Structure 1
Amino acid sequence: MKYEVLVIDDDKILCLVLNKVIESSNLPSAHIFNKANSALEYITERNTSNQNFLVFLDINMPLMNGWEFLTALNSQTLNAKVHVSIITSSIDQNNRKKANEFDCIFDFLVRPVKLEDVVKFSELPLLKPFFYFETKLEPVF
């Protein structure tokens, strides 16, 4: 099985900060996309049954926003498994209601995203395989 983390956000600085949080949480370094259509193409090209994506998705972006990305993703026949956490600065409750329309969305995070926000995903059985857990072996004497 292959596990990849994607960040889809048009704010390059926030992408770098979020990627540092992601790496600190024992997730692999994220592939960063500043345009949702590029991320959609990336997922489509890797659409195999052994591919899994953990996606951190901004809602408000130019050209293709997060909702348009999710609608386009849903219109495709996917063998890959895609798990989405919405990342936004919006506190609009309508966004939370809309998020419930998409089965792939498992969480809704409001910025700024903290390390504990991401670490809690490791407790979800569906997402546990994405995390690297270091095994520390004690020397045997």
Structure 2
Amino acid sequence: MTDKIAVIDDDEVYQMIISRYIEKSGAFRLAEYYQFPKEALKYYSDNKENLPSVMLLDINMPLMDGWQFLEALQAQFPEIYDHTKIYIVTSSIAFSDKERFENFPKLAGFLSKPLNVEKLKEIGDNQK
């Protein structure tokens, strides 16, 4: 079991579904959910010691998209990838998103929604 997973996704229905899958996977001790990337940035800025071991990040969000969030997160925490595995999780089929993923070589993966319990267990197992 890993420490903590964070889900940053503006879709409330998806958050409800993924929270059930995370619980069923048993792969994470704690889970936190953010509907707004700026809210997550503020929390981590104020609580630097509470960065998650895994982050599932949507890229298509209003106000601040996932790519903007990543840039801000990296600027604020240059060593973020030393303790947090960040996965892009998206329903996007845009080739440009996959190309942009290549600009972030330290990302742990580019995953398609919806995730399932087995995939979450695999992500959790990769943290050990």
In the other structure, the counterpart of 2:23 is 23
RMSD, aligned CA: 2.1
**Segments of 4+ in structure 1 off by > 6 A?**
none
Matched residues, number: 124
1:77-125 per-position Cα deviation (integer Å, ceiling 9, x unaligned)? 356522211111111222122122224420111111111221111332x
Matched residue of 1:109: which SS?
strand
Higher relative contact order (CA 8 A, sep 6+): 2
Residues 86, 58 of structure 1: alpha-carbon distance in 2 compared, 3 angstrom cutoff: same
How many percent of aligned residue pairs carry the same amino acid? 31
- Measure the CA separation in 2 of the matches of 1:53 and 1:44: 16
Q: Which residue of 2 aligns with 1:42?
A: 43
Distance in 2, Cα, partners of 1:10 & 1:97 = 23
Structure 2, gaps ≥5 residues long? none
Verify the 8 A CA contact 2:3 2:30 in the aligned structure 1.
Answer: no
TM-score, structure 2 as length reference: 0.84
- Output the CA distance in 2 between the equivalents of 1:53 and 1:78: 15
TM-score in terms of structure 1 length: 0.77
The answer (yes or no) to whether the contact 1:9–1:58 under 8 Å persists in 2 is: yes
Q: Which runs of 5+ in 1 are unaligned?
A: 129-141
